[in-house]
A and B are shown apart, each in its own frame.
Chain A
């Protein structure tokens, strides 16, 4: 039972989080069994969490999305907030896999409809979540359900340019 850990303040008494609340940052509803999980090195100082998106650069390192969406943007399955990521210097991406995903990590300033295409880009605050894709931008998936405080989207197996 004993070991060495760091401590998350919000989950240390007095607990500052409703731990019974369903975690919706990344809930994969379809495709878990066959999706490709691939570890990639994380760039210096970069942090991304599960459910966010990371960009794979030419140097093989991951960074947070820039202002212009790129095709090499991947869904993060296990982020840099984990001990194993700290140890390996890598985080786990989902690559080349079509999935159905439920998440609450999206641009909530926008309103969504089923069929809206989604991308991930820095909107001025270093965001790495999903937002609506504009024409000519690489789209990573499309909305299949709009819920209260969450969306369900279909993740494309490969990004394509939104018409």
Chain B
């Protein structure tokens, strides 16, 4: 699937010709799956916060009621020590495990159809076409579900802070972190969108010091961490809304993201039509709902209304 050394038209021509043989189809499907896997890893924010683990059917459990699969994950059970007198003894505890279930679901792209003639008209590689309309759609669903479950968690824990601040700064971030710190957890990752990240870079030298202010003015904020926490910035403003900053603990205290088997890529050629689609079976969710917090800032719309913001 790599087009190194070839111009886009030649690459696309070879790609289509290869689909005319069974062996070529198989090789293309395998290469397509590898390509999609690599690209999904690069672009989704959910995977950067909660890295996925591959599982097989043997790792999962089925239901008596339907033909779907879940994976059951253990939660650390309660325990505590006690200061007691020499002649006394600590409390007893009958250990009872807690678990949560992650149901698997399928994320599938649309089935794309294109004539080989029209594919030849593209002046950029067909891999780019696949990336644009398969990879991005799939990882978008992963990110949407990730935020949907995060919203469900904070609706129970109440870790949603509404602030009158109009831009994100260190004070707002520490207010966010405290909601997780209070539960004896540590924030591992901060998630914000590019609009808020732009605001973060506007902090004056009196706030962040001259050297950093000068550096940010020239090169932007280029560090992978913010206040010692991993920084993830997304351009998906319709999933992570402007003004919404999320904090998550490290994956070990957060939840799980499983991929059953692997991402599948299917392609075939029917006469002059090339058809392809991509799908995967995943399960993602948070076992520790206390490990997520969100602050909502009162940011103005980044798009001017009648010329003003």
Contact = CB atoms under 8 A, between A and B. Distances in A.
A162 interface: no
Interface stretch (A20-28, A54-62, A122-130): A20-28
Interface string B87-108: 0000111101011111100000
A33 B92 contact: yes
Contacts of B157: 18
Interface of A: 1-8, 11-20, 22-23, 27-33
Nearest to B184: A20
Given A18-B289, A23-B78, A7 B63 contact: yes
Contact of A15 (B57, B63, B65, B100): B100
Contacts of A7: 63, 70, 101, 103
Given A15-B153, A15-B286, A32 B92 contact: yes
Contacts of B72: 5
Contacts of B286: 13-15
Contacts of A11: 98-101
Contacts of A6: 63-65
Contacts of A23: 78, 96, 98
A11 B289 CA distance: 11
B152 interface: yes
A15 B102 CA distance: 9
Contacts of A32: 92-94
Interface in B280-299: 283-290
Given A2-B57, A3-B61, A5-B63, A16 B99 contact: no
B62 interface: yes
A14 B152 CA distance: 7
Given A28-B92, A32-B92, A15 B78 contact: no
Given A6-B64, A19-B289, A28-B92, 15 more contacts: A2-B58, A4-B62, A5-B63, A5-B64, A5-B70, A7-B103, A13-B283, A14-B152, A15-B152, A15-B286, A16-B152, A18-B290, A19-B288, A27-B93, A33-B92
